[in-house]
Chains A and B, each alone.
Chain A
Amino acid sequence: MRARALTVLPTLMLAGIGALAWALLSGELPGGWPALAGALGGSDDYAAVVVRELRLPRALAAYAGGAMLAVAGALMQILLRNPLADPYVLGVSGGAAVGALGALTLGLGGLAMDASAFCGALAAMLLVFGLARGDGTWTQTRLLLTGVIVAAGCGAAVTLMLALATDTRVHSMLFWLMGDASAARNPWPALLVLAAALAACMPLARDLNVLARGELGARALGVPVDRLRHGVFVLASALTAVAVTLIGTVGFVGLVVPHLVRLAIGNDQRLLLPAAALAGGALLVAADTAARLVLSPLQLPVGVLTALIGVPVFLFLLARQFR
């Protein structure tokens, strides 16, 4: 297993570097390798500035967002012991959407909108946590249903805001809802959060393996199940909140990536969590670059592309599972 990690993780890392290189090299303005070299070397050449100031933050944001969503999805799948759970299933994205669209409705943008989205995500997460904990019991079904209901409530609020919004604002609202990396300015805090989250869950990875096989058995094997589940819930929700604040509610990455990685390398979280992060990052950078190029100069929100890829893949996996 450890030997496998030594081949899988570097391969995925190379795929990520390849995707990032593609993202930095392609676009309307043909800069190519000289522009990239210039950008990394600190040149003030126009092409170099475009690469450094526009393409690089966007690509890194897509990488961080994709990686965070994939890790959050993998954690949610363990938490709910359901291989078809995704990071949005517990309503975090709904809360973020209410926050972001609320800010847009008030005419706010930029940092204020990010802050509002993040607060909305945290509020939804605390609401689900509080309601699902209620009397102290914590069954998956209760957690799941609470999340679904909170998400449904957020959906209604989002629809209301869309209905009341002026035409000019609806466009940016829809882009945010579909998931769009173009507005991401500073990806570094998100990359730090990603690194911290991976560092936090790697020591718990074998505990998670045991938890995936049932709560009772895990407790009998000495896993502190309640503490672990609370930690996983907070970690997965926080990752989702940061990712959604950064790039909007990009769909299917958090669902399909951990699932595909699991099919390829098995369900050992010690390998699955870092592999999902690397694969999610690489995938979203590639998808975002494709979203910029397909109908260029028209730019698509990356969420449209991940959904177009994700829906058939998901249906295929679903059909396989219940065959």
Chain B
Amino acid sequence: MRQPASALLEADRVALQVGSRWLCREFSLRLDAGECLVLLGPNGAGKTTLLHTLAGLRPAEAGEVRLAGTPYGGRSPRETARLRAVLPQIQPDPFPASVLETALVGRHPHLGRWAWEGREDQRIAHAALDRVGMAAFAERDLQSLSGGERQRVAIAALLAQQPALYLLDEPLNHLDLHYRIRVLELFRSLATEGAGVVLVLHDIDLAARYADHVILLDGQGGVTAGTAQAVLQADRLSAAYGHHLRRVEVAGRTVFLPE
């Protein structure tokens, strides 16, 4: 059944293949503004491939992905970049750059060909750095920062991009406990403000805490999609990860303990 209004992100009977292996077939999903979707699965299950397909960075083998009602081919890459932002899993930085310069990169799709970053762009970049606790580091060289600090700067660049949809590949990489929660709270509040958020995570407990929807890839071509509550079942997770998990309720939260 077709839903009336176009969703922020829609996948319509998408099939993904890497080499000769099918990661999923006939896969559909719908994400509305204000919702948070988490992709879970074991190493090599195809989470990144799926995320890149949802981001329009790689074509699906079959089916169609639509961003705000239009397939990715229907917009220029620049227009697309004003609507959705992607946090890659790995960010190479072979050249020296300051933290502020790096956050300003997010303004790229908003600037004309000859335009230089103006005062308003500087303000947006500073505000973004502030939201990830990096405002005091604005003039520092990126290469002098720790892995977690660099990850927070990369997230700030994404915030400066001001998209409607965030697609984040393992955004919690290198982050300490405090910033893992703070970053998830940040994206949760962006969702509340009306953004859509798709996250690849490795932490099932955090997925249970922050996700509205979960997609579980089992690495064998099996995909389970649904609300967080429906997908996050101990037997299903145990089978997907190949490790027995026990579901425990603690202080009103659901956690999964590996045996």
Contact = CB atoms under 8 A, between A and B. Distances in A.
A223 interface: yes
Interface stretch (A26-34, A51-59, A109-117, A266-274): A266-274
A267 B85 CA distance: 23
Interface in B75-101: 76-82, 85-86, 88, 90-98, 101
B77 A81 contact: no
A36 to B, nearest CB: 38
A57 B161 CA distance: 49
Contact of B77 (A83, A219, A267): A219
Interface string A262-302: 11001110100000000000000000000000000000000
Given A216-B86, A217-B91, A222 B81 contact: yes
A265 to B, nearest CB: 11
Nearest to B142: A213
Interface residues of A, number: 26
A212 B116 contact: no
A206 interface: yes
A105 interface: no
Given A83-B94, A222-B76, A266-B98, A217 B81 contact: no
Contact of A268 (B91, B92, B101): B101
A195 interface: no
A212 B91 CA distance: 11
Interface string A1-38: 11000000000000000000000000000000000000
Interface string A70-101: 00000000000111000000000000000000
B113 interface: yes
A214 interface: yes
Nearest to A80: B94
A56 to B, nearest CB: 35
B96 A221 contact: no
B233 to A, nearest CB: 33
B58 to A, nearest CB: 10
B108 A1 contact: no
**Central interface residue in A82, A220, A222, A268, by most chain B CB within 10 Å:** A220
A203 interface: yes
Nearest to A267: B95
B55 interface: yes
B80 A222 contact: yes
Contacts of A83: 94-95
B78 A213 contact: no
**Central interface residue in A262, A267, A270, by most chain B CB within 10 Å:** A267
A257 to B, nearest CB: 15
A214 B96 CA distance: 13
Contacts of A222: 76-82, 108-109
B29 to A, nearest CB: 20
Contacts of A267: 95-97
A140 to B, nearest CB: 10
A222 B82 CA distance: 8
A210 interface: yes
A221 B95 contact: no
B92 A220 contact: no
A267 B98 CA distance: 10
B116 A217 contact: no
Nearest to B57: A219
A266 B101 contact: yes
Interface in B41-83: 52, 55, 57, 76-82
Interface of A: 1-2, 81-83, 203, 206, 209-210, 212-214, 216-217, 219-224, 262-263, 266-268, 270
14 contacts: A1-B116, A81-B94, A83-B95, A203-B113, A206-B111, A213-B91, A216-B86, A219-B77, A220-B55, A222-B79, A223-B108, A263-B96, A266-B96, A266-B98
Given A81-B92, A216-B88, A222-B79, 13 more contacts: A203-B114, A206-B108, A206-B111, A206-B113, A212-B94, A212-B95, A217-B86, A222-B81, A222-B109, A223-B108, A262-B96, A266-B96, A266-B98
